[in-house]
Amino acid sequence: MTPSTLTSRRSFLKMASATTFALSATGGVSILAGSATAEIIESVNVGAWVTLHADDHITIRFASAEMGQGVSTALPMILAEELDADWSQVRSEQVDKGPLDTFGNPKINGIMYTAGSTSVEGYFERLRHAGAQVRRVLIHSVAAHWNVPVEEITTEPSTLVHGGSNRNMSFGEAATTLTLITDVPEVTTEELKSPSNWRIIGTDVDRLDIPAKTRGETEYSIDVRVPGMLYAAQLNAPVEGETPIEISDDDAKAVAGVVQIIPLTNSVNVLAETFEAALLARDLLDVTWSEDSAFRPANSETELATLKAAVEDRGRDAIVWETKGDATSSLSDADAKTIASVYTTEQLYHAQMEPLNATASVDEDGKGAEVWIGTQSQTVSIGVAAGVLQTTPDKIRIHAMQMGGAFGRRTVFARELLRDALLLSKISQRPVKLMWTREDDVKNGWFRPASAHQLSASIDQDGNVTGYHHRLASPSVLQFALPQIWEKSNGRDLLVMEGAQAQDYDCPNLTAEHIITERQSKIAAWRGIGWGPICYARECFIDELAAAAGSDPAGFRRKLLAKSSRGSAVLEKVLEMSDYGNAPEGRAHGLSFAGYKGTRGAGVAEISLDPDTSEVRFHKFWAAVDPGIAIHPRNVQAQVEGGVIFGLSGLHRERIAIVDGQVDQNNFYDYEVLRANQVPEIFVEIIQSGAAPSGVGEIGVPMTGGAVANALFALTGSRPHNMPFNAHL
Amino acid sequence: MVKLNVNGTDIEVEADADAPLLWVLREHLGLTGTKFGCGVGSCGACTVHIDGEAMFSCQTYASDVEDAEITTIEGLPDNGDHPLQKAWIAEQAPQCGYCQSGQIMRAAALLSQNPDPSREEIVEEMSTNLCRCGTYPRIIRAVERAAKEV
């Protein structure tokens, strides 16, 4: 607890009727002056996170951003548990803006930034304390009102109870009719509920956001319509960084409804009264570009060859990510068997279903704006907007909308889309909705970078791994996407390298290192971040080591995981679930142990080959996952299913190729994501080890590459050393 | 000016005859439950019913459907209480939710033409629509559940 969170949780606000109720611009808890005392109080904002309403419904805020992962339910569940709320009365509301010492995620440098499956992990303790503190305020207040000792008050869901006098009062009534005693002692961690008393955490409540999503009522940023707004279609530079030199726009301007053609540094923008007019006019633009980009020679095939050469060149400098013992000596031990192998991965596109877009309405004085954006970071988006308008963050009124998928693409994209929407609004002096088409979204993507992995290991006569060396070459995602953090990171790129430490495996002598290459395109984190490529390469290699040691994939991993009880548990569970190794005729199983940060996971794929096309067919996939504590088990299951499908899609036919600095793919017809008739039956088992809760949004991804590659080996005797496996078929 | 019948109501819209129905529905009429995903008929996010058939509204000119009955997610019979919507909730299908209007509209057209589809028929039909969150297993189960209840 930081002092400032204590302050904000001690600041309580009582307000008059709902019409005057609003979270202040800072997201906090200033008392609204002039609350008419004679009015009936309909809702009370107790602390920063909770509003209690006279009709007994409860609004619980969450500060992560909902992109489909279920934080709009899971985070309020945590607070509701300690508040002892009646869950059926809970509604949730996303925080757009507010003090970061209250709302920032401690796992992401204390800002509002939803990535890396860190929401539950980051906010768990804070939300428990916040809920408990509100409950304590209500208990103290009702005790004073009934004139009984505080210790005699208990709670039932959303109800204060005094057993001795057989009295009770709902939370809503208490909050809106009593004088709230806010100066109560801080709830200590020891005073929080014991997990055995939980009645909300660990239950399969319905997600709060689902009914609206079945009725088409959920509002995404692409759905925003602002009075007087213009639509913008953007013709982007064909190659990164190029600028428009000459623009012939007579034909475009002649299209009915076109209002203005605005060149920006790297784009030409058509503003029109309708989006169809803007698109039509965009096609009629004739633009000469500077053709001077340093990225003109960029080519994916060359890049892959360069990456491969880099890991094989022992003279290349590398940043050490993790080192234990002495891997170098172990690997040169003449008595040990030494094995080495190289794996590569190609670039991938996020393909979130909602093409990127942003809407901005810049104030007349140009020094403030209202913006609508589906963003993984409210804080970054506000910062970008303030920077563009050279103003202060308080002048940015942001609506952080439900995202139509994100998967890492919407972390810092405000830097481009929101920037341009603001500039266009400022220049045109109208609100502007800037929408990318799917082709724009593909051609201007920020991709998971290509990577090469050289793995070397030594095995002693007993089949123990005595030395392990993972050399990874790729451009740095952190350097490109988050330069301010990169500057302070000493060259350590957690968005590429995290996972290479092989944390659960018993390897006393281990080195993992990163050869940072020049980027050939814009790059970003992609669901599973570095764990996806790393676990693919490592788990293939582990099977190779097992064979070299004369062991089998399951037995060899058992031995490597012997010192990790959580790792062993998910391994044993998935072996049991899948009846590993006993695939039906014509099919094969492949095994992979692959965690994601604090979450442990293991997967088994059952596949066959299409006799006509030689493509992999996915029949079944079993996943065992231990997120410590599953806040919302049914959603954990859904996230793992989604993650597995995302991973399988990424290893199958998805592939971005850069040719002469331009993205070769266009749309879903040539960037092929998995469809319903290609997905396997998926079986998920959750193990709750009771460790601190950790994320589940990405754990499904890293286990897929190794499991499928190892199954391919079992089926064909040949293991794919480049992912995706079927994009070149 | 285009004359349309949308969700049982005759409407005159200030739109060009060659405007894609998708943009007319979403941006002119504010029926934003129908989504833009690809613009080329590859993802199904824009699926609506044209005379009861599931169609890509991004591939349909507004002027071509002036004599047709257009139904969007907002006009789905018993909206909010349709067996498919109830099944979608029971199976907790949506994640980001963006594709789900199109999925439900495709499933609704399937069930109206084939009230008792086999699992294979459901999977094949639903493969027209993409879901990037990977909710396919739940979508298939939800269609099966709704088919039993219809």
- The predicted-structure confidence for A705-719, as pLDDT tens digits, reads as follows 999 999 999 999 999
Q: Taking phi first (over 0 means left), then psi (-120 to 50 degrees means alpha), and beta for anything else, what does residue A518 get? A: beta
What is the distance between the alpha carbons of residues A315 and A312, in angstroms, rounded to a whole number? Answer: 9
A404 touches chain B (CB under 8 A): yes
Which residue has tokens 């490597």? A560
Long-range contacts (CB closer than 8 Å, 24 or more residues apart) made by A32-38:
none
pLDDT band at A3 (very low <50, low <70, confident <90, very high): very low
User: Taking a C-beta distance cutoff of 8 angstroms, is the pair B76, B105 a contact?
Assistant: yes
List, in order, residues 6 or more apart from A699 with CB less than 8 Å away.
Answer: A117, A595, A596, A599, A601, A625, A627, A639, A640, A643
pTM of the model: 0.95
Report the pLDDT value the prediction gives residue A537, as an integer from 0 to 100: 98
Report the pLDDT value the prediction gives residue A11, as an integer from 0 to 100: 33
Report the pLDDT value the prediction gives residue A14, as an integer from 0 to 100: 42
Q: For residue A551, what are its two tokens?
A: 């062991």
Helices in A320-395 by DSSP H: which ranges? 327-331, 378-388
Report the pLDDT value the prediction gives residue A28, as an integer from 0 to 100: 34
Q: What is the mean pLDDT of residues A533-537?
A: 98
Q: What is the CA radius of gyration of chain B?
A: 15
Mean pLDDT of chain A: 94
| pLDDT exceeds cutoff 50 at A643 | yes
CA distances from A108 to A105, A112, A477 (A): 5, 8, 16
Of B16, B28, B132, the CB nearest to A351: B132
Which amino acid belongs to residue B58? C
Distance from CA of A427 to the nearest CA of B (A): 23
User: Taking a C-beta distance cutoff of 8 angstroms, is the pair B128, B107 a contact?
Assistant: no
| pLDDT exceeds cutoff 70 at A500 | yes
* Cα A59 from chain centre: 24
* Cα B9 from chain centre: 18
DSSP B45-74: TTEEEETTEEEEGGGSBGGGGTTSEEE-GG
User: Taking a C-beta distance cutoff of 8 angstroms, is the pair A102, A4 a contact?
Assistant: yes
Chain A stretch 676-695, residues whose beta carbon is closer than 8 A to a beta carbon of chain B: 676-679, 681-682
Q: For residue A539, what are its two tokens?
A: 């788990």
Q: Which residues of B touch A214 (CB under 8 A)?
A: 80, 84-85, 88-89, 93-94, 100, 104
Q: What is the mean pLDDT of residues A469-475?
A: 98
Question: Do the Cβ atoms of B95 and A70 come within 8 Å?
Answer: yes
Question: Do the Cβ atoms of B27 and A206 come within 8 Å?
Answer: no
User: Which sign does the torsion angle of CA A265, A523, A680, A598 carry?
Assistant: negative
List, in order, residues 6 or more apart from A365 with CB less than 8 Å away.
Answer: none
CB atoms within 10 A of CB A197: 9
Which residue has tokens 């103003």? A391
User: Taking a C-beta distance cutoff of 8 angstroms, is the pair B4, B63 a contact?
Assistant: no
pLDDT band at A727 (very low <50, low <70, confident <90, very high): confident
Q: Which among A232, A231, A228, A208 is positioned nearest to A402, based on CA atoms? A: A208
| pLDDT exceeds cutoff 70 at B2 | yes
Chain A stretch 221-240, residues whose beta carbon is closer than 8 A to a beta carbon of chain B: 222-223, 225, 231
Q: What is the mean pLDDT of residues A49-64?
A: 97
Q: What is the mean pLDDT of residues A302-316?
A: 97
Q: Which residues of B touch A439 (CB under 8 A)?
A: 39
Which amino acid belongs to residue A144? A
Distance from CA of B110 to the nearest CA of A (A): 15
Q: What is the pLDDT of residues A577-628, one digit of tens each?
A: 999 999 999 999 999 999 999 999 999 999 999 999 889 999 999 999 999 9
| pLDDT exceeds cutoff 90 at A729 | no
Q: Which residues of A touch B81 (CB under 8 A)?
A: none
DSSP-assigned letter for residue A394: G
Question: Do the Cβ atoms of A353 and B85 come within 8 Å?
Answer: no
A334 touches chain B (CB under 8 A): no
Q: What is the mean pLDDT of residues A237-254?
A: 98
Q: What is the mean pLDDT of residues A386-407?
A: 98
Query: Facing residues of B61 across strands?
Result: B20
Q: What is the pLDDT of residues A414-431, one digit of tens each?
A: 999 999 999 999 999 999
CA distances from A247 to A264, A266, A272, A324 (A): 12, 13, 17, 58
A617 touches chain B (CB under 8 A): no
Report the pLDDT value the prediction gives residue B87, as an integer from 0 to 100: 98
What is the distance between the alpha carbons of residues A728 and B20, in angstroms, rounded to a whole number? Answer: 35
Q: What is the pLDDT of residues A155-168, one digit of tens each?
A: 999 999 999 999 99
| pLDDT exceeds cutoff 70 at A171 | yes
Q: Which residues of A touch B135 (CB under 8 A)?
A: 638, 641-642
- Looking at chain A, the whole-number percentage of residues with pLDDT higher than 90 is 93
Rounded to 5°, the CA angle A125-A126-A128 comes to: 65
Q: Which residues of A touch B23 (CB under 8 A)?
A: 274-276
Cα distance from N-terminal residue to C-terminal residue, chain B: 39
pLDDT band at A32 (very low <50, low <70, confident <90, very high): very low
| pLDDT exceeds cutoff 60 at A15 | no
User: Taking a C-beta distance cutoff of 8 angstroms, is the pair B80, B65 a contact?
Assistant: no
DSSP-assigned letter for residue A357: E
Question: Do the Cβ atoms of A225 and B127 come within 8 Å?
Answer: no
Q: Which among A14, A134, A24, A10 is positioned nearest to A79, based on CA atoms? A: A134
Chain A stretch 189-218, residues whose beta carbon is closer than 8 A to a beta carbon of chain B: 206-207, 209-218
Report the pLDDT value the prediction gives residue A622, as an integer from 0 to 100: 99
pLDDT band at A19 (very low <50, low <70, confident <90, very high): very low
What is the distance between the alpha carbons of residues A59 and A43, in angstroms, rounded to a whole number? Answer: 10
DSSP-assigned letter for residue B83: H
Q: Which residues of A touch B42 (CB under 8 A)?
A: 667-669
Q: What is the mean pLDDT of residues B102-123?
A: 98
Cα dihedral A202→A204→A206→A210 (10° resolution): 90
Question: Do the Cβ atoms of B33 and A676 come within 8 Å?
Answer: no
Per-residue buried b or exposed e for A298-335, using 16+ beta carbons within 10 Å of the residue's own CB: bbbeebbebbbebbeeeeeebbebbeeeebeebbeeee
Q: What is the mean pLDDT of residues B28-56?
A: 98
Query: Facing residues of A470 across strands?
Result: A455, A512
Q: Which residues of B touch A434 (CB under 8 A)?
A: none
What is the distance between the alpha carbons of residues B9 and A244, in angstroms, rounded to a whole number? Answer: 46
Q: Which residues of B touch A219 (CB under 8 A)?
A: 32
What is the distance between the alpha carbons of residues B53 and B59, in angstroms, rounded to a whole number? Answer: 14
Report the pLDDT value the prediction gives residue A728, as an integer from 0 to 100: 72
A436 touches chain B (CB under 8 A): no
Distance from CA of B65 to the nearest CA of A (A): 17
Of B20, B40, B73, the CB nearest to A215: B73
Question: Do the Cβ atoms of A206 and B85 come within 8 Å?
Answer: no
Distance from CA of A276 to the nearest CA of B (A): 6
What is the distance between the alpha carbons of residues A157 and A583, in angstroms, rounded to a whole number? Answer: 49
Q: For residue A713, what are its two tokens?
A: 């080996």
User: Taking a C-beta distance cutoff of 8 angstroms, is the pair A526, A477 a contact?
Assistant: no
User: Taking a C-beta distance cutoff of 8 angstroms, is the pair A308, A474 a contact?
Assistant: no
Question: Do the Cβ atoms of A218 and B97 come within 8 Å?
Answer: yes
pLDDT band at A13 (very low <50, low <70, confident <90, very high): very low
A287: burial class by Cβ within 10 Å (0-12, 13-18, 19+)? Answer: middle
What is the distance between the alpha carbons of residues A498 and A597, in angstroms, rounded to a whole number? Answer: 8
Question: Do the Cβ atoms of A642 and B80 come within 8 Å?
Answer: no
Q: Which residues of B touch A645 (CB under 8 A)?
A: 134, 136
Of B96, B104, B137, the CB nearest to A353: B96
Report the pLDDT value the prediction gives residue A144, as an integer from 0 to 100: 98
ipTM over 0.90: yes
A219 touches chain B (CB under 8 A): yes
| pLDDT exceeds cutoff 70 at A282 | yes
Question: Do the Cβ atoms of B136 and A676 come within 8 Å?
Answer: yes
What is the distance between the alpha carbons of residues B26 and A534, in angstroms, rounded to a whole number? Answer: 42
Residue among A279, A282, A353, A437 with most chain B CBs within 10 A, to mutate = A353
What is the distance between the alpha carbons of residues B10 and B3, in angstroms, rounded to a whole number? Answer: 7
Helices in chain B by DSSP H: which ranges? 21-23, 83-90, 100-113, 119-126, 136-149
Rounded to 5°, the CA angle B73-B77-B78 comes to: 105
Long-range contacts (CB closer than 8 Å, 24 or more residues apart) made by B73-76:
B73/A215, B73/A216, B73/B33, B73/B34, B73/B48, B73/B101, B73/B104, B73/B105, B74/A215, B74/A216, B74/B7, B74/B31, B74/B33, B75/B6, B75/B7, B75/B8, B76/B104, B76/B105, B76/B108
User: Taking a C-beta distance cutoff of 8 angstroms, is the pair A592, A710 a contact?
Assistant: yes
Q: Which residues of B touch A213 (CB under 8 A)?
A: 94, 97, 100
Length of chain B: 150
Q: What is the mean pLDDT of residues B3-29?
A: 96
Q: What are phi and psi of B146, to 5 degrees?
A: -65, -40
Of A214, A277, A673, the CB nearest to B85: A214
pLDDT band at A412 (very low <50, low <70, confident <90, very high): very high
Q: What are phi and psi of A412, to 5 degrees?
A: -130, 20
Q: Which among A158, A23, A185, A32 is positioned nearest to A102, based on CA atoms? A: A23
Which amino acid belongs to residue A237? A
pLDDT band at A40 (very low <50, low <70, confident <90, very high): confident
Q: What is the mean pLDDT of residues B76-86?
A: 90
